[in-house]
Amino acid sequence: MSKEKEKQTVNPEEEPRAAETEGVQPEAAAEDTGDPILAELETLKNNLAEQEDKFLRLAAEYDNYRRRSQKEKESAWADSKAETALAFLPVYDNLERALKQETADEAYKKGVEMTMTQLKDVLTKLGIEEIPALGEAFDPNFHNAVMHVEDENVGDNTIVEVFQAGFKTGDKVIRFAMVKVAN
């Protein structure tokens, strides 16, 4: 037989097998043929994909934990700062009342003013600021209206008197300003 005839002659057992594996993935072909190396390779690929997924999930969980811990730390600092400032606000109120009183002793008055200035500086350094009130529009998020007065000389919902100063740190109100509102 010539070489051309040998090429044209097809083994009848191989022909159906070649038709079966056409268009079939190598993994599926490995399962059909029972090749243990390809089956083990497929198992290892699946295990690797599972381990990679577990690793990515663990990394995401750790990142979330780190962010949550940082927020909790910042929140604890802000809360402790606000509680400490709240404890000093009665001292602020008493110094404010002392400044409003008339006195003949200039040294005494100067000492109270210096103490008040120093307390305001400490509060400012801590990021605690006084809530503006007098002449401002009433805002229930920052002000506590304890009195109401009718006065045509000022606009509606305008604060005409401050009984007690309010303070905040950032967006958190430490103490609401106690005010009198017109109209």
What is the tens place of the pLDDT at every residue in 118-148? Answer: 999 999 999 999 999 998 999 999 999 999 9
Backbone dihedral region for residue 63 (phi beyond 0: left; psi -120 to 50: alpha; all else: beta): alpha
CATH class of the domain defined by 129-183: mainly beta
CB neighbourhood size of 115 (10 A): 14
| DSSP class per residue in 80-148 | HHHHHHHHHHHHHHHHHHHHHS--S-HHHHHHHHHHHHHHHHHHHHTTEEEEP-TTSBP-TTTEEEEEE
Can you give the pTM of this predicted structure? 0.63
C-alpha 131/C-alpha 24 separation (Å) is 74
Residue 135 main-chain phi, psi, to 5 deg = 85, -5
pLDDT digits (tens, 9 = 90+) for 17-50: 444 444 445 444 444 557 899 999 999 999 999 9
C-alpha 121/C-alpha 130 separation (Å) is 12
C-alpha 172/C-alpha 142 separation (Å) is 10
C-alpha 159/C-alpha 177 separation (Å) is 10
